[in-house]
Amino acid sequence: MKYYIIAGEASGDLHASNLMKQLKAKDENAVFRGCGGDLMQEQGLDIFKHYKTMDYMGFAEVIVHLREILSNIKATKEDILQFNPDVVILVDYPGFNLRIAEFSKKKNIKTFYYISPQIWAWKRKRVYKIKRDVDKMFVVLPFVQDFYKTYDCNVDYVGHPLLDAVESFKNKGEAETVIQKTKEKLVLLLPGSRKQEVSRILPQMAKLTTAFPDCQFVIAGVKSLGEEYYNAFLEGKDIPVIFGKTYNLLTQADAAVVTSGTASLETALFNVPQEVCYTTSAFSYRIAKMLIGNRIKYISLPNLIMDKAIVKELIQKDMSYDAMKTELESILYNEEKRSSMFADYTILAEKLGGSGASERTAELMWKYLN
pTM (2 d.p.): 0.79
User: pLDDT at residue 78 above 80?
Assistant: yes
pLDDT at 143: 84
4 versus 168: the higher-pLDDT residue is 4
Average pLDDT, the chain: 89
Count Cβ atoms below 10 Å from residue 292 Cβ, excluding itself: 14
Q: Which stretches does DSSP call E strand in the chain?
A: 2-7, 31-36, 46-50, 87-91, 110-114, 136-139, 156-157, 185-190, 215-221, 241-243, 255-259, 274-278, 312-315
pLDDT at 292: 56
pLDDT at 66: 65
pLDDT in tens, 305-348: 998 999 999 998 899 999 999 999 999 999 999 999 999 999 99
User: pLDDT at residue 178 above 80?
Assistant: yes
CA 160 to chain centre: 11
Q: What is the 3-state secondary structure (H, E, C) of 59-127?
A: HHHHHHCHHHHHHHHHHHHHHHHHHCCCEEEEECCHHHHHHHHHHHHHCCCEEEEECCCCCCCCCCCHH
pLDDT at 69: 77
d(CA 71, CA 193): 23
For 6, list phi and psi in degrees, rounded to 5: -125, 120
For residues 250-265, give the mean pLDDT. Answer: 94
User: pLDDT at residue 62 above 80?
Assistant: no
- Band of pLDDT at residue 130, cut at 50, 70 and 90: very high
pLDDT at 339: 97
pLDDT at 294: 59
291 versus 35: the higher-pLDDT residue is 35
pLDDT in tens, 263-289: 999 999 999 999 999 887 655 556 555
Domains of the chain: 2-159+354-369 (3.40.50.2000), 185-351 (3.40.50.2000)
d(CA 45, CA 187): 35
